[in-house]
């Protein structure tokens, strides 16, 4: 869409002005470079508004038809060639209206009856955020699919479970991966919740006070697939909560990705070597030929910080803003788009990495064996088989750890005689309990790390997803 123009006074609001704005005024005021991304939603909202005006007899049928035809053509032009930016036309609303004027002449001027750019932009942004939420839900589902597959594949792969980044107890890799699936499930529900809450249509609030024209707000709300119209015209044009809701959900989701990214970075480092990153998800170094760097994971980690910044920018922008509309609100759009772009890329990159990472079970098992990670199993065995109170059993197991450290061996390499010297109640069965596989297999409590539980969790997650 390109528009040819003459004259200096603003075509949208220039009536009372003699001179045009200063060049810098134009530049600071213009948002088209950003909000051109709203074109599809802006035109759809105008189509709904035009249909309503015509149905209500507020504009004539011929003008209504011309407007609809013209808007359809602009939609087509935008889809093919994008938008030629003109700062004098300020924003996407100005651009579409000016182009409509070129195409259909005077009738174009009737489209803006009973509306304002204030309710227009609120409507466009809600439509865009709704789309962005659907896009995030789609990306999250794709990442979940990959996590479920890898978790099932590694339901019985033993790795160290950490607290304080110290080996705590052995867990299964599948269980560890499924922890991220839980986070993503909560992310999904936060996005769905934000979507439900935003789904009221501000169109018809006009500048801030509503309008005297006999508009039908249910008509436009339905045409744009909202649940209904908003209740208060002032709030309708002042509200950007839906952007904050979206950014909050995006921030937390990106935070989860950042934690996973951090683990990938750690696990790929030589001292860990729990994973090998495939070529497709690594970069080399310009000086050190040996390097294989986890840049994608590092960028997912850093992007999460930028998304936090986007959320904070909008919250600070809104704080203390008097009702109703103020131009400050225009500045909420760049952080919104930025967060979507970053999250979209991060979710996709993470799905790609998780799908292709090569896990190294031997390294994970060796690390799980270090650090006497089955000491709790010895204590549990004493409680279960020798009726020892847990606190006492904990001390006995602690002495076994000290003995292993003294001999410079792993806990499960002590023989029965060594253990019985510490406490004669320790029996043969305790030796088996100290093995990594029996340790994880024993943790069958609901939500526990036992391989059977992991497989069950994967099945449950898949069943839940296939529900309509
Ligand atoms: N470009 C503006 C925005 O994004 C549209 C609303 C302009 N309204 C106004 N009264 N100047 O907020």
Per-residue pLDDT in tens (0 to 9) along the chain, 468 residues: 776 655 566 777 777 777 777 889 999 999 999 999 999 999 999 999 999 999 999 999 999 999 999 999 999 999 999 999 999 999 999 999 999 999 999 999 999 999 999 999 999 999 999 999 999 999 999 999 999 999 999 999 999 999 999 988 999 999 999 999 999 999 999 999 999 999 999 999 999 999 999 999 999 999 999 999 999 999 999 999 999 999 999 999 999 999 999 999 999 999 999 999 988 888 877 777 777 889 999 999 999 999 999 999 999 999 999 999 999 999 999 999 999 999 999 999 999 999 999 999 999 999 998 888 899 999 999 999 999 999 999 999 999 999 999 999 989 899 999 999 999 999 999 999 999 999 999 999 999 999 999 999 999 999 998 886
Do strands 166-172 and 158-163 pair parallel, antiparallel, or not at all (unpaired)?
antiparallel
Distance CA 112, CA 97 (A): 9
Tell me the three state secondary structure of residue 151. Answer: helix
Q: Which of 61, 269, 285, 302 is catalytic?
A: 285
What is the distance in A from the centroid of ligand 1 to the CA of 108?
A: 19
Go through 333-371 and write b for each residue having 16 or more CB atoms within 10 A of its CB, e for each that does not: bbbbbbbbebbbebbebbbbbbbebebbeebbbebbbeb
The structure's pTM equals 0.93
> Dihedral of the CA atoms 247, 253, 254, 256 (nearest 10)?
150
Tell me the three state secondary structure of residue 302. Answer: helix
Residue of 268, 270, 323 lying closest to 296 (CA atoms): 268
Question: Are the CB atoms for 203 and 220 separated by under 8 Å?
Answer: yes
For the Cβ of 330 lying below 6 angstroms from any atom of ligand 1, the answer is yes
Distance CA 65, CA 272 (A): 68
Q: What is the number of residues in the chain?
A: 468
Report the residue among 34, 38, 118 best suited for mutation to probe ligand 1: largest number of ligand atoms under 8 A from its CB: 118
In the residue annotation, 445 being an active-site residue is answered as no
Residue having the nearest C-alpha atom to atom 12 of ligand 1: 330
Kindly list the structural domains of the chain, giving each domain's residue range(s) and its CATH number in brackets, ordered by start. 26-113 (1.10.275.10), 118-207+232-366 (1.20.200.10), 370-466 (1.10.40.30)
């Amino acid at each position: 869409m390109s528009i040819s123009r003459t004259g200096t006074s603003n075509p949208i609001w220039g009536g009372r002005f003699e001179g045009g704005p200063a060049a810098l005024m134009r530049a600071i005021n213009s948002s088209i470079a950003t909000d051109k991304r709203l074109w599809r939603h802006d035109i759809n909202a105008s189509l709904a508004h035009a249909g309503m005006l015509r149905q209500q007899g507020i504009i004539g049928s011929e003008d209504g038809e011309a407007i609809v035809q013209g808007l359809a053509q602009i939609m087509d032009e935008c889809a093919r060639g994008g938008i030629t930016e003109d700062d004098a036309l300020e924003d996407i609303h100005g651009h579409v209206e000016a182009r409509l004027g070129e195409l259909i002449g005077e009738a174009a001027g009737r489209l803006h009856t009973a509306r304002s750019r204030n309710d227009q932009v609120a409507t466009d942004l809600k439509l865009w955020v709704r789309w962005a939420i659907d896009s995030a839900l789609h990306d999250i589902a794709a990442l979940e699919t990959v996590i479920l597959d890898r978790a099932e594949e590694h339901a019985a792969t033993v790795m160290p479970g950490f607290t304080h980044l110290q080996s705590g107890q052995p867990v299964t890799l599948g269980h560890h991966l499924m922890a991220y699936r839980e986070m993503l499930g909560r992310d999904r529900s936060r996005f769905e919740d934000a979507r439900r809450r935003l789904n009221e249509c501000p169109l018809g609030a006009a500048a801030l006070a509503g309008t005297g024209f006999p508009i039908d707000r249910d008509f436009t709300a339905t045409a744009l697939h909202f649940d209904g119209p908003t209740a208060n015209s002032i709030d309708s044009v002042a509200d950007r909560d839906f952007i904050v809701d979206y950014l909050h959900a995006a921030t937390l989701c990106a935070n989860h990705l950042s934690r996973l990214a951090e683990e990938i970075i750690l696990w790929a480092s030589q001292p860990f070597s729990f994973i090998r990153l495939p070529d497709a998800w690594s970069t080399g170094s310009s000086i050190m030929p040996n390097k294989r760097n986890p840049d994608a994971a590092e960028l997912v980690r850093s992007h999460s910080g930028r998304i936090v910044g986007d959320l904070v920018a909008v919250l600070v922008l809104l704080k203390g803003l008097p009702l109703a509309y103020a131009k400050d609100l225009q500045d909420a759009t760049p952080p919104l788009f930025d967060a979507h772009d970053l999250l979209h890329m991060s979710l996709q990159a993470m799905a790609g990495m998780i799908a292709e990472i090569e896990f190294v079970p031997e390294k994970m098992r060796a690390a799980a064996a270090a650090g006497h990670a089955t000491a709790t199993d010895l204590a549990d065995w004493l409680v279960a088989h020798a009726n020892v109170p847990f606190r006492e059993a904990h001390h006995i197991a602690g002495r076994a750890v000290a003995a292993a450290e003294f001999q410079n061996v792993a806990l499960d390499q002590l023989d029965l005689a060594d253990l019985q010297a510490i406490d004669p109640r320790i029996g043969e069965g305790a030796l088996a309990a100290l093995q990594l596989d029996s340790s994880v297999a024993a943790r069958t409590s609901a939500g526990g790390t036992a391989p059977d539980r992991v497989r069950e969790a994967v099945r449950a997650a898949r069943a839940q997803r296939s529900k309509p």
